[in-house]
Structure 1
Amino acid sequence: MKNYQLFFASIHEPKKLAAFRLLPIGKVFQYVFLFVILSTLVSFIRFLTGDIDLFGSSQELIDYAATVGGLLYPMAFVLQLVISTFYLFIRVSFFGLVGLGLLKIFKRRGEYRHMWRTSAVSITVPILVSLVLDIFHVESAFNFPLTAIIHIVYLALATNYYPKQPQAKVTRA
């Protein structure tokens, strides 16, 4: 399956979101890294345009930035890439646990690895909303709660398409 197919299906097809639990983990990592690159590029462009002032808080940092010179930009890009990677994978892992709880609530079968993959693909809309809010300078206090609710809704919709748990048979003596 191509990444653009994953992208469009993750936006409006909860049944396919549930089916994506069977994707190879390499394909899921590839899809998540596309969002890592996207969020890194947005943050780096904001840094280049002066929209984010990283060094305004301390004179030592301003002096250090002047000393480093042109190396500041590749260092900033790599640092942002590492931070974005860490943030997205921690977020996907956390919502995989939330999804595991949803499986228990809805009495569906699945394992953490399945829910992690579903969580990774269902992060599409929350990350896009987060990037739009970040670009338009919406207060960050609203960003995570709003995107968390969206992510949980997508996970709940996908959970409904997971297989049901088998009924326990009652034996009479």
Structure 2
Amino acid sequence: MKFHQLFLAAFHEPKKLAAFRLLPIGRVIRYAFLFILLMTLISFTRFSVGDTDLFEASPELNEYSETIGGLIYPMAFIFQFVIATFYVFVRISIFAAIGIWIGKLMKRRVEYRFVWRTAAIAITVPLLLTIFLDFFQIWETSGIIFSSLFHIGYLIIALKYYPKAAK
């Protein structure tokens, strides 16, 4: 299955979202890295055009940035990529754990590895929502809560299509 098919199915096909648990883990991780790269590029672009006031927050940081000059940009890109990777994979893992709990309440046959894959594909809409809401300062903290509820909702809908647990 191609990435654009995964992307489109993640929006409105919960039965396929549940079936994505059977995808190879490598494909799921590559799909997650597409969003990590998207988040990094948006963050780096905002940093490059001066959208964030990082260096004005501290005189020491401002002095340090002037000392290293142009090296700040590759270092910032790498740093933002590492942070985005950590954020996305921790978020997927936390929601997979929540999905295990919800799946057991729904009396579904759930394994962490399968729920993790479903949570990784289900992060599509919540992550795009987080990126969009990041541009509005009002939604900084409540945007994460809002997108987390979306993620849980997508997981619940997908878990309905998991096989029932044996008695």
**TM-score, normalization by structure 1:** 0.94
Deviations 1:132-161 (CA, angstroms, capped at 9, x unpaired): 111233431111100100000000000000
Deviations 1:98-125 (CA, angstroms, capped at 9, x unpaired): 0001110110002000000000000000
> Are the counterparts in 1 of residues 104 and 110 from structure 2 also a CA contact under 8 Å?
no
Structure 1 residue 102 corresponds to structure 2 residue 108:
no
Q: 2: distance between equivalents of 1:160 and 1:97?
A: 16
**Large movers: runs of 4+ above 2 Å:** 135-139
Q: What number of residue pairs does the alignment pair up? A: 167
Q: 1: distance between equivalents of 2:106 and 2:18?
A: 14
Structure 1: unaligned runs, 5 residues or longer: 169-173
Counterpart residue number, 2:89: 89
Q: 2: distance between equivalents of 1:137 and 1:23?
A: 37
Q: From the CA coordinates, give the structure whose radius of gyration is larger.
A: 1
Counterpart residue number, 2:62: 62
> Are the counterparts in 1 of residues 107 and 165 from structure 2 also a CA contact under 8 Å?
yes
Structure 1: which amino acid aligns with 2:75? M
RMSD between aligned residues: 0.8
Q: CA deviation at 1:48?
A: 1.1
**TM-score, normalization by structure 2:** 0.98
Counterpart residue number, 2:38: 38
Change in CA separation of 1:4 and 1:138 when aligned onto 2, cut-off 3 Å: farther
SS in 2 for 1:135: coil
Structure 2: unaligned runs, 5 residues or longer: none
Q: 2: distance between equivalents of 1:80 and 1:147?
A: 21
Counterpart residue number, 2:13: 13
